[in-house]
Amino acid sequence: METRIDGATVYTGKIFRVERDRVRMDDGREATREIVRHPGSVAIVPRQADGAVVLVRQYRYAVGRALWEVPAGTRDQPGEAVEATARRELAEEAGYVAARWKRLGEAYLVPGWADELMTFFVAEGLTPTEAHPEPDESFDVNPFDLNDLRVLRGTGELDAKTMLALSWAGVDIWTDPKGLK
């Protein structure tokens, strides 16, 4: 277990802040830790009646390319319940409301340097609504069947949270229907 000795906030942004802490390790040595403090997030697997999953495609500046992802977003509204955040993000990004929700669980995305805890949901009974992306966001929205999801996985066009969300929701994007090669 590491014990915090002291630290400082070195950056505060719109979504997160960065802290640099000095810690004492179990053996008495000191080390520096840089941590991204994040309010948490949600990810939603919107599943249509035919089993297709609705994904959103957006350009990710940090990696210099567009990726297909499950709708997701930051818990940036103080006091908003986690499921309310998920409902809001599904409508904003994908343009759907859902009649049925199931909470799948939570996972730390990059615990080596951030405390972001993402809560995962499956949403079914989808009804289209008007999407309202944030002013700095732009999305393409498309449903994908299982075979198309497997193709996307193979091309690197899915991000890690999406692969985790799909697996957690029981969508097997890993098995090649032709077997091992």
Nearest to 162 by CA among 66, 55, 85: 55
Burial of 123 (0-12, 13-18, 19+ CB in 10 A): buried
The secondary structure of residue 146, as a DSSP letter, is H
Shortest CA distance to 94 belongs to which of 117, 121, 115? 121
How far is 143 from 149, CA to CA, in rounded Å? 10
**Cα(155)–Cα(148) distance, rounded to whole angstroms?**
11
Of 130, 134, 137, 157, the catalytic one is 134
Examine the residue annotation and report whether 134 is marked as an active-site residue of this protein: yes
Render the burial of 33-56: b for 16+ CB within 10 Å, e for the rest. Answer: eebbebbebbbbbbbeeeebbbbb
168's CB contacts (< 8 A; 6+ apart) are 45, 104, 105, 120
Q: Which residues are catalytic?
A: 134
